[in-house]
Structure 1
Amino acid sequence: MLTDTPAALSLKPRILIADDSRIVRATLIKHIEGMFEFREALDGEQAWEALLIDPSIRVVISDLTMPKLDGYGLLKRIRASKIGRIRNMPVVVVSGSDEQAERDRAKAAGATDLITKGIGTAQLLSRLDILSKLVSTQNEFERGLEALVHSSDVGDHVELPSPQEWAQRAEEMRSNAARQNRNFVILNACIGLKHPELDGYPASPPFSVINAIGQLLHRTVRQTDCVARTGENEFTIATGSIHFDSARNFAERVCRAIANANLIGDGQMDLIASCGVVSIAECASAAAEDMLNDMRQLAGERALLGLQKGVTGVIGNEEERLLQQGESLLTQSLLEQQEKAADLAIDLATLLRWIKEGKEEQVLLHINKLSVELQPLLNLLLSRQKAGMP
């Protein structure tokens, strides 16, 4: 497997731009230069060769219609690659239209996001920044896992809290969160080992792999959080005062990093990392003394469901519903999430509840529309204040 070396790494994230139009490439470069380094490819074949020889590339921007190898063919090669850093590379597809059929086809082919050729600089930079940071964090996690699992130095070993100690500390965190009206989240990560010739429940990975994952989780979570090994191949994390979306993003990066890390010698064996996620809001109706157990049980059931279905990633309420209905999980692009959220009719009560749950990122998707609707009320309040009225 190709790995990053200090000589190959850039100070700025490197973006690969694949498009047969010199004008389109120049326009995209004008958008991103200064914040990102870039590399150009005139067609899909050149782009594929660049990915093989340049491990510093963090994100691919690709046109769909190119000679030799088009965007769909490039996506197919990337997603089928045996090299982890290529197989999981974020690919942003550039399209001249915004038709849903083309968006659906690109998504089915493995596109991470889809942009139109008239996208603004700020919007493009924001998306690329998010994607490149996720890749960098995941790569660091993978390298740390590989170093830990193959290390013979036991001096760095850290004893994780026992399940009983975890429960005591987690209950204190939950109680404080409820008292201070803040969010509290339980993450339950189950690790499995899957072989193409084995059916049914995934086998347990070697002890050295599970131990390495536990050590790195301990080093990765915040000091205010708590992680413990709560089963043979299971870890549970309690985290408070965090946006729910941020907790999901952290869990997603951890799961992908575990699955992608080169931890198993047999090339046919694959690691599966499924993480059940539960927010305190989902168990708000439970009695205070039962809430932590209810949250932990629900997170564990979701993780186990994901593991049994062979899913690497986060299993929340929506993913659980889809899996129970026998449907597959398709990751939405950032743009699709924003469009879906913008189409929803959200009332003020819902937005206030989201703020209470720590879902500020969802609230921000509606802030422009909300400000317009509330402007008459604000004008009325200001006019009363100017008139000296209470």
Structure 2
Amino acid sequence: MLTDSPRDISLKPRILIADDSRIVRATLIKRIEGMFEFREALDGEQAWEMLLIDPSIRVVISDLTMPKLDGYGLLSRIRNSKISRIRNMPVVVVSGSDEQAERDRAKAAGATDLITKGMSTGQLLSRLDILSKLISTQNEFERGLEALVQHTDTNQHIVLPSPEAWQEQAEGMRTNAIRQNRNFVVLTACIGLKHVELDAYPALPPSSVVNAIGQLLHRTVRQTDCVARTGEIEFTIATGSIHFDSARNFAERVCRAIAHANLIKDGQMALIASCGVVSITEYAGETMETERSLAAMRVTAKERALLGLHNAITGVIGTQEELLLKQGGHLSDIDVNTVVPVADGEVDLSIDLATLLRWIKEGKEDQVLGHIGKLSSELQPLVDLLLKQYKT
């Protein structure tokens, strides 16, 4: 078993490939080498040992059928690990089948993504790159939170905008977004503290932790965004000109980082971070301006965040999650591939051109057809330029 040495440190993200087939491992290595470093494991047991001793591993690629410990067993150990670095590790499952039943089982076991052995190299590299950057960002966020809490100095703290100042700036952002036909998103994060063995409503976390979270949020959001502390355990962020999926991903990273950071010394207590998200794209077809006012969006975002907090959920609560929780369901019941239909004549600002083109490459033509108008309008200038060039 190899261990890291000071000279073994590389700027390239390290991927762990667990598969009992030498041919499969060699094929994957050939496709990722140059962009990623790699480690090989012949079975799930060996992969687990490597994860314990090698903190530089960023992503795991695992087969499902392996000797000693199969892919499902490896996923179970990873997701139940007491080490946050391992517990939060992105795990990409490799399957020779594209059956939905196997995909569902892998997702339920904790797989981050599932790829087939016939996936193109470009798609594989793109997914691994996104996952490795995601975990690095979350780790940096966690370390930043820990450092802020441990070195609290109120004299050096940034003063967050007041709720009134936030309201004024956010209203200007919302108005401009509507005028320019762009997206605008409100995110409300609520923080709670609960005993790991109880599902009761979380208690108030220490003020030092809440203050540190506010400081790091201020440093993390874009300069064009606005964040304010709008309650004892509540922060609200306004962001515009952003793809809705990007806003959700940011909120998810924030929630996970807060929950997994080593901020609470009592091992029986845990932080809960629930983020309610609402976008003006949810109001497609609404004629009344008041229906998508900033006040209405804030109310919706806060209601969703508190709904998640009451259910002791760390993560993002959007439209689907809200409906499901109110019906007594579980978030695991949500189909992440479901596309919410848009009213006739309206443009879904949450779907951008890059997403539509990616869907085409992934063979999701049915999803693209629902947004064909946007795709056509976005590509028309390029088509016109090409025709003009051809004529000349």
TM bucket by the smaller chain?
Answer: 0.7 to 0.9
Deviations 1:95-134 (Å, cap 9, x if unpaired)? Answer: 1222222222211111111112222211111111111111
Q: Give the aligned partner of residue 311 of structure 1.
A: 313
Q: How does 1:87-236 map to 2 (within 5 A)?
A: 87-236=87-236
Structure 2-normalised TM-score?
Answer: 0.86
Deviations 1:338-357 (Å, cap 9, x if unpaired)? Answer: xx55xx9x89967x612x44
Q: Secondary structure at the match of 2:293?
A: helix
Structure 1-normalised TM-score?
Answer: 0.87
Counterparts of 1:309 and 1:219 in 2: how far apart (Å)? 29
Q: Tell me the amino acid that sits aligned with residue 347 of structure 2.
A: R
Q: Give the aligned partner of residue 296 of structure 1.
A: 298
Query: In the TM superposition, what is the alpha-carbon distance from 1:169 to its structure 2 partner?
Result: 1.3
Counterparts of 2:19 and 2:40 in 1: how far apart (Å)? 8
Q: Give the aligned partner of residue 326 of structure 2.
A: 324
Counterparts of 2:213 and 2:78 in 1: how far apart (Å)? 27
Counterparts of 2:199 and 2:331 in 1: how far apart (Å)? 20
Counterparts of 1:22 and 1:173 in 2: how far apart (Å)? 54
Q: Give the aligned partner of residue 277 of structure 2.
A: 277
Counterparts of 2:282 and 2:317 in 1: how far apart (Å)? 14
Counterparts of 2:239 and 2:5 in 1: how far apart (Å)? 34
Q: Tell me the amino acid that sits aligned with residue 136 of structure 1.
A: S
Is 2:365 the partner of 1:363? no
Q: Tell me the amino acid that sits aligned with residue 363 of structure 1.
A: L
Deviations 1:249-285 (Å, cap 9, x if unpaired)? Answer: 1111111111111100011111111000011233454
Deviations 1:198-253 (Å, cap 9, x if unpaired)? Answer: 44210111001000000000000111111011111000001111111111111111
Q: Give the aligned partner of residue 241 of structure 1.
A: 241
Counterparts of 1:5 and 1:266 in 2: how far apart (Å)? 34
Displacement over 2 Å in runs of 4+ = 4-10, 152-156, 196-200, 281-290, 330-333, 346-350, 356-371, 373-378
Residues 360 and 267 of structure 1: CA distance in aligned 2, closer, same or farther (over 3 Å): farther
Contact kept, 8 Å, 2:290 with 2:296, in 1: the verdict is no
Name the count of aligned residue pairs: 369
Contact kept, 8 Å, 2:189 with 2:275, in 1: the verdict is yes
Contact kept, 8 Å, 1:185 with 1:240, in 2: the verdict is yes
Is 2:23 the partner of 1:29? no
Query: In the TM superposition, what is the alpha-carbon distance from 1:195 to its structure 2 partner?
Result: 0.3
Query: In the TM superposition, what is the alpha-carbon distance from 1:171 to its structure 2 partner?
Result: 1.1
Moved more, 96-105 or 321-330: 96-105
1:353 to 347, 353, 374: 347
Q: Secondary structure at the match of 1:217?
A: helix
Counterparts of 2:193 and 2:91 in 1: how far apart (Å)? 28
Query: In the TM superposition, what is the alpha-carbon distance from 1:196 to its structure 2 partner?
Result: 3.1
Q: Secondary structure at the match of 2:93?
A: strand
Q: Give the aligned partner of residue 16 of structure 1.
A: 16
Q: Tell me the amino acid that sits aligned with residue 364 of structure 1.
A: L
- Structure 2: any 5+ residue segments left out of the alignment? none
Counterparts of 1:246 and 1:305 in 2: how far apart (Å)? 22
Query: In the TM superposition, what is the alpha-carbon distance from 1:331 to its structure 2 partner?
Result: 8.5
